[in-house]
Amino acid sequence: MKNLKLELFNFKKTLDFDSSEVVYIIEGHMNACNDLSEKQVIISLNEKLKSYTYNKEVKSLLENLNSDMAQYELLYELKNLYNVLNSRNQGEMYRHPINVLLQTINLDTDQDRMSKILNELAVYDWVPEIKLFVHNLTKSPEQRSNLLSGGKSETVYTIVEQVEDGHLVFLKDSWFLMTDDSIEKTLLETHIKGDERQKTLRSLQTAMQFASINESRIDFRISEYLTIGLSVNNKGSFFINEDELNEETSLENLFSSPIVPIVNRNFYPLLVEVANNIDSFVELDVVKRVSNLINPTLEVFAFNYKKNTYIYRCDERYGNSFFKYESALELVNEVRNELNYDLTFFYDNKLSKEIVAKKQLEDRERQISLKLEDVNFNISKIKGSIQILGSTNVLKEALLNLEKRRESLGLDLLAVKELQVKEIVKL
């Protein structure tokens, strides 16, 4: 996570006299770092500097900060929560939850932070802000798994075409036929006979190479400074760099204007085709795309389709391949080993009760281990205080209570490990 105040200070040093307005904004936000959270400051910077993004340096600064906030999302959210609680900590009422929050922030990984949130911070749900934070964090199994895993899972939005045999679906670089009981890799020409429709689908396929799709918009990055978006929910509605245009604006008018560079106007036919076939782009809820920055050459599309499980592996080194799995557990383990991502939530309808129980026991073991680490750390601190300050009744009592807590947690950990052995025998 970046040091925001230092980033702004270094950026300010690069500005010249002609950028006095930007300097004024940067200085104001540097001072705000003392009172506001990093998340609040970055959101404000995006708003205040929006009209100055014609400047490459300003645009680069915002992109870097936004990228850092996306990469360390949980840490930014925790620091924002700390700022909110600290500002409302009248009479030290929130002293204990704030201490737990600070301990959570100081952990090394998001995986450890998430475990501490669910096991310790969630206890303080009598604080409205903490209750809302934990609820938002855990309401989606996919979001929770994204925070706990090294990899990332994404919802897939793509082209879906109904045909006589079922549905044609385009993923990455290939077409798949989804029938009532199976999925197979196929060719577009095999199922679409009309030349005109084939041509349209080929154009949409080409458009997928340049577009990013979500539940509300299809965005095309036309140039470094220009992104044109087509609304999925409101047909005929367009966006430029996320700003919605008025109703009189059409694609034809847009591409005739100086806004779109001449060399990039060959995007026009693609955008027209997509706009005319916007209903062909849907969320494919039976597929998840899984990737990991540590293994950038590999991405997988995991299918959970009726009684079957499949994976479409897209590997830049060894090529693409399509596999069917007899066991959902085998698929989940393979994705976990290769991309450090747990797809258990996606296949919970296929995994047996024993597997789910095994996963719960693994989570419980990790939770107890984290608590033991905290207790051992506090015991070492008290022993250090006794050596420096001498023994007192308060320190003796605190040490005794912590040692009892350590013994209790040790017994809990041993019980969980014994249960894990029993679960393994069952499997």
Q: Where are the alpha helices (DSSP H) in 240-343?
A: 251-256, 268-276, 328-339
Low-confidence ranges of the chain (pLDDT < 50): 423-427
Does one domain contain both 254 and 163? Answer: yes
Query: How is the beta sheet containing 243-244 ordered, strand by strand?
Result: 211-213, 217-223, 226-231, 238-240, 243-244
Closest CA to 331 of 313, 356, 317: 313
Q: What is the pTM of this model?
A: 0.61
Residue 190 lies in a domain: yes
Query: How is the beta sheet containing 166-171 ordered, strand by strand?
Result: 183-186, 174-178, 166-171, 152-163, 281-291, 298-305, 308-315, 319-325
Residue 145 lies in a domain: no
Asked which of 51, 71, 91 is the last residue of a domain, the reply is 71
Give the N- to C-terminal CA distance of the chain in Å, as an integer: 42
Does one domain contain both 119 and 135? Answer: yes
Asked which of 53, 71, 89 is the last residue of a domain, the reply is 71
Q: State the pLDDT at residue 160.
A: 94
Does one domain contain both 167 and 275? Answer: yes
Q: State the pLDDT at residue 320.
A: 93
Does one domain contain both 66 and 102? Answer: no
Q: State the pLDDT at residue 174.
A: 93
Does one domain contain both 161 and 255? Answer: yes
Contact 139, 145 (CB under 8 A): no
Residues 6+ apart with CB under 8 A from 21: 52
Domain that holds residue 341: 286-345
Rounded Cα distance between 227 and 242, Å, is 8
Beta-ladder partners of 227: 221
Does one domain contain both 97 and 200? Answer: no
Residue 148 lies in a domain: no
The pair phi, psi for residue 353, each rounded to 5°, is: -60, -35
Domain count, the chain: 5
Does one domain contain both 273 and 319? Answer: no
Positions of E strands within 118-182: 152-163, 166-171, 174-178
Does one domain contain both 204 and 262? Answer: yes
Does one domain contain both 248 and 171? Answer: yes
Does one domain contain both 164 and 237? Answer: yes
Does one domain contain both 160 and 278? Answer: yes
Asked which of 248, 282, 316 is the last residue of a domain, the reply is 282
Contact 327, 310 (CB under 8 A): no
